[in-house]
Amino acid sequence: MAQLRAQPAEGDPSDRWVAQLRKGALEMAALASLWRGRLYGLEIIRFLENHSRLVLAEGTIYPILSRLKAEGLLTSEWVEAEAGHPRKYYSLTDAGRQRLRQMAEAWVGFAGGLSRLLEPVLHPADQDPSAGTPVLKTQEITQ
């Protein structure tokens, strides 16, 4: 399956729409990556790549983390690492957990409703199997 790219897509309006949609989910995705415990920036990027097929322009996530922290949804701490330089770890605050839970509920409700709406678009053949009539092609319907 094609990956959703983070870079602002140019040209094709449907590419742009996908890019907007992706960006829209990013704040929630960043919070969700921290649900199980603290991570540093690069770990968050990798986590999102592995768990959600969200491929990020790597610079995108840091300003978002900074904003979430300013909103009190995240805290951060510098931790000395074996790598030789310290890393900035982020974790969810109580407010962050609460906000994420609300976002997740809203998202799932919204996506569930839309999926039902889009079902006939993606699977036109399932539309009315009992009728036994051949499924019209899009072109014929619009004529």
Binding residues for another protein, rule: CB under 8 A, are: 20, 23-24, 27, 40-42, 57-60, 62-64, 66-68, 70, 83, 85-88
For every residue of 66-84, DSSP letters joined together read: HHHHHTTSEEEEEE--TTS
Number of residues written out for the chain: 143
- Smallest gap from residue 55 Cβ to another protein (A): 11
- Smallest gap from residue 131 Cβ to another protein (A): 41
Q: What is the DSSP letter of 137?
A: P
- Smallest gap from residue 94 Cβ to another protein (A): 19
Amino acid, single-letter form, for residue 88? K
Query: Is 102 or 127 the residue whose CB approaches another protein more closely?
Result: 102
Block residue for tokens 């704040």: 27
Amino acid, single-letter form, for residue 55? V
Query: Is 76 or 124 the residue whose CB approaches another protein more closely?
Result: 76
Query: Is 20 or 75 the residue whose CB approaches another protein more closely?
Result: 20
- Smallest gap from residue 1 Cβ to another protein (A): 22
For every residue of 104-118, DSSP letters joined together read: HHHHHHHHHHHHHHH
Query: Is 2 or 70 the residue whose CB approaches another protein more closely?
Result: 70
- 73 touches 99 (CB < 8 A): yes
